[in-house]
């Protein structure tokens, strides 16, 4: 299971790749819009990458809280942590969203039909 540092490094790296800048220059306190210059579309694109890195689906209602690099790290950490940590009450809509993820993810096994 991913450690906090793993999550943090991966997120910072994903941001650095997206922004084409040095990962060392990105701080958890950085505001995505004010400090990193991401507009709302760019935040969505960046989260799209992070969803892929961590195999997550981030529901729309969780987006509002994600305004700094640190918020994103904490949020993802909460989502990928082992079961006990999942109780972080920040995102009550999470569990159903997660189950929803599983279903489509299970389907590719049937894709031989297409091929």
Chosen residue from 1, 41, 64, 89 binding another protein by CB under 8 A: 41
Alpha helices in the chain (DSSP H): 4-19, 40-54, 60-63, 69-80, 94-106
Q: Is 104 in the site for another protein (CB under 8 A)?
A: yes
Q: How far is CA 101 from the centre of its chain?
A: 14
Chosen residue from 87, 99, 111, 112 binding another protein by CB under 8 A: 111
Chosen residue from 51, 67, 86, 91 binding another protein by CB under 8 A: 51
The two structure tokens encoding residue 5: 């540092």
Q: Is 105 in the site for another protein (CB under 8 A)?
A: yes
Cα separation of the two ends of the chain:
34
Distance in angstroms (rounded) separating the CA atoms of residues 56 and 97? 9
Q: Which is nearer to another protein, 8 or 14 (CB)?
A: 14
* Interface positions with another protein (CB under 8 A): 20, 41, 44-45, 48, 51-52, 57, 101, 104-105, 107-108, 111, 114
């Amino acid at each position: 299971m991913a450690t906090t540092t793993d999550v943090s490094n991966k997120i910072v790296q994903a941001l650095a790749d997206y922004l084409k800048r040095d990962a060392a220059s990105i701080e958890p306190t950085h505001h995505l819009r004010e400090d990193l210059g991401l507009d709302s579309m760019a935040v969505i694109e960046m989260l799209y990458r992070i969803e892929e890195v961590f195999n997550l689906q981030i529901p729309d209602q969780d987006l509002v809280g994600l305004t700094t690099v640190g918020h994103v790290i904490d949020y993802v950490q909460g989502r990928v942590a082992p079961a006990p940590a999942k109780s972080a009450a920040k995102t009550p809509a999470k569990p159903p969203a997660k189950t929803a993820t599983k279903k489509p993810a299970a389907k590719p096994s049937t894709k031989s039909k297409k091929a």
